[in-house]
Structure 1
Amino acid sequence: MPEKQQPIVALNHTARPKKPKLRPQRNTLVLSLKKNDLELNFYSSLDSEIMNKLLEKILS
């Protein structure tokens, strides 16, 4: 005796919007400076005003 066949019905899924993965920004090296015994490395996370003030004091 054949079994009753049921139609295949797709289920409704609530679509969740994909959240973009938050990656931390890369802290890249902007400037590496050596003067006498002092070595300075400036990275992109440093505020440009602070970097300029430091460079003025060191290089003058």
Structure 2
Amino acid sequence: MRALARLPGRQREALVLRFYLELSDDEVCQVMGIRPGTVRSTMARALAALARELGGEVRA
């Protein structure tokens, strides 16, 4: 939870919507008001940052 809290707000929001609330990418787009490509790139950056924080690899 601490590693997640250290992520930028937009990245944290995308991860929570996708993995905690189990929304689809399209639903995340609607909630966040961003395009599908932006959702995917935001998730990729968030997972990479989370992996760095945790000292390993995080997979979706």
What TM-score do the two structures reach when normalised by structure 2? 0.32
Q: By percentage of residues, which structure has more strand?
A: 1
Q: Which has the higher contact order (CA 8 A, sep 6+)?
A: 2
Structure (1 or 2) with the larger CA radius of gyration: 1
